[in-house]
Amino acid sequence: MLTRRPGGEPFKIKAVEPVGITTRQQREEILRKAGYLQFRIPSEFVYIDLMTDSGTSAMSDNQWAGIMMGDEAYAGCRNFFNLESAVRDIFTYPYVIPTHQGRAAENILMLAMLRPGDYVLGNMFFDTTIAHIEHKGCIGEEFLIPEGYDTESEHPFKGNVDVERMEDFIKKNGASRVGMIIITITSNSNGGQPVSMRNIREVSGVARQYGIPLIFDAARYSENCFFIKKRERGYEDKTLPEIAAELFSYGDGATCSAKKCALVNIGGFIAVKSKEVYDKCLQYLVLFEGFPTYGGLAGRDLEAMARGLRQGLDEAYLEDRIGQVAYLARRLSEAGASVVTPPGGHGVYVDCKKTLPHLEMDKFPADALSVALYLDSGVRTVGLGTLAFGRKDAGGGWVFPELELLRFAIPRRVYTDRHMDVVADSMSSVLKDRGNIKGLRLVKEAPRLRHFLSTLEPLP
């Protein structure tokens, strides 16, 4: 029998949001109307929404109180100074620029720092990061350690950079051609996997030796700091703010989507050490986001972000959060799913090639499992496999991606372990009849953004 996680949630619930309870028959109709695409299902028909952890956090009473303290002055609102002080305390960088979300921060910092033709090196770029690198006429090169690509490796820091390979690249191509190094903490694209302090220190050594700026993509800064405390020798007795301060001291700046670890529904920022970079950013900021003390956000949003940033580093909260991800991973695995190990910071990934071995890749196993789960229980997940990343060769044949994953991203402070039990029980009932999952086929294939815009139907 499955055991419950020790302890309980470190919060009590003050406001509730009813969720969509539907019958199986209704869900059949909803799926048909949505063309079997999770993105087209109206959220009122979703019982447990594990599509993303971004912008889906529950804010605390303290943050909601902060919303009422919004100072909506065009220039110099007090909430900006509160944000600036929170970022300076945690990130240690003196210059702070708010933006409306993470990708806007990437756009502005890259416009300020990169020249067309530059290389940008990193562990693994998030989709918008590589898109912005290419938008600036630059080339992104990834140097994730091999264990990071292995869904069964138990390496504790699968977001680490292969420092030797990165340094070889710099030597071969010349440091002057490298515009920046970006370390994404945690590495979203391979499952929210953390980067160790030692690895960050080593990358920083290389960056300094060759005079290359080191920037953090810090969307999940607090989850990465928590993993360092739990998994890296020498950090067990340090506080999370101490770990964050050391980590960021090795870099020159950061972009941050505050929609993750900073526990807000919208917001982001840039923080840098250099006054020169800051001044350049401001010119683009005014063009794209707004005046430097609001950066595309209302004063109330800045206040919620300032408060959320500090709350994001609360140890009891992180213990519960990371514990819930691990709990769901264990329960899904007990339900018969092949789970990527170790689970990362923000969600659980199921390897659908192994979980549904009877389905060929052109039957979209990850999305087929996603549809089966929604039909069974109203749980929404997102497929990251052939439908999203498969390419076509010149003859129209499939070039399949390496991985066929189903992601269960867990919003922060939103669901209880009982919700996680519903998800795992649903997986268990779906997998009992896994042979009945016949796969999907494309009825209308969108020329671009296939997984957002196409129409599918189940195979008989």
Ligand X SMILES: Cc1ncc(COP(=O)(O)O)c(C=O)c1O
**Residues labelled as active-site residues:** 74, 126-127, 217, 219, 260, 451
Closest CA to 68 of 58, 76, 59: 59
Site mask, ligand X, residues 234-263, x = CB under 6 A?
-----------------------x-x----
CA distance 417 to 371: 23
**Using rule CB under 6 A, residue 184 touches ligand X:** yes
Instruction: Indicate the residue among 101 and 355 with the shorter CB distance to ligand X.
Output: 101
CA distance 101 to 81: 18
Q: CB of 101: closest distance to ligand X in angstroms?
A: 3
Among 38, 60, 63, 101, binds ligand X (CB under 6 A): 101
Cα R_g (the chain), whole angstroms: 22
Q: How many CA atoms lie within 13 A of 274 on its CB side?
A: 15
Identify which range of 99-107, 276-284, 289-297, 379-387 contacts ligand X by CB under 6 A: 99-107
**Using rule CB under 6 A, residue 419 touches ligand X:** no
Whether the bond between 186 and the residue before it is cis, its omega within 30 degrees of 0, is: yes
**Using rule CB under 6 A, residue 57 touches ligand X:** no
Instruction: Indicate the residue among 162 and 217 with the shorter CB distance to ligand X.
Output: 217
Identify which range of 126-134, 229-237, 367-375, 418-426 contacts ligand X by CB under 6 A: 126-134
Please say whether the beta carbons of 352 and 373 come within 8 A: no
Please say whether the beta carbons of 49 and 59 come within 8 A: no
**Using rule CB under 6 A, residue 219 touches ligand X:** yes
Identify which range of 57-65, 95-103, 359-367, 447-455 contacts ligand X by CB under 6 A: 95-103
Among 128, 160, 293, 311, binds ligand X (CB under 6 A): 128
Please say whether the beta carbons of 270 and 182 come within 8 A: no
In the bound state, the residue with its beta carbon closest to ligand X is 102
Compute how many other C-beta atoms are within 10 angstroms of the C-beta atom of residue 105.
32
Please say whether the beta carbons of 345 and 220 come within 8 A: yes
Instruction: Indicate the residue among 79 and 129 with the shorter CB distance to ligand X.
Output: 129
**Using rule CB under 6 A, residue 217 touches ligand X:** yes
Q: CB of 112: closest distance to ligand X in angstroms?
A: 17
Please say whether the beta carbons of 109 and 94 come within 8 A: no
SS3 assignment, position 392: strand
Instruction: Indicate the residue among 179 and 192 with the shorter CB distance to ligand X.
Output: 192
Q: How far is CA 352 from CA 46, 112, 329, 339, 379, in A?
A: 22, 41, 14, 9, 17
Closest CA to 217 of 192, 236, 240: 192
Q: CB of 396: closest distance to ligand X in angstroms?
A: 32
Instruction: Indicate the residue among 259 and 407 with the shorter CB distance to ligand X.
Output: 259
Q: CB of 129: closest distance to ligand X in angstroms?
A: 6
Q: CB of 128: closest distance to ligand X in angstroms?
A: 5
Residues forming contacts to ligand X in the complex (CB under 6 A) are 54, 101-103, 126, 128-129, 184, 188, 217, 219, 257, 259, 268
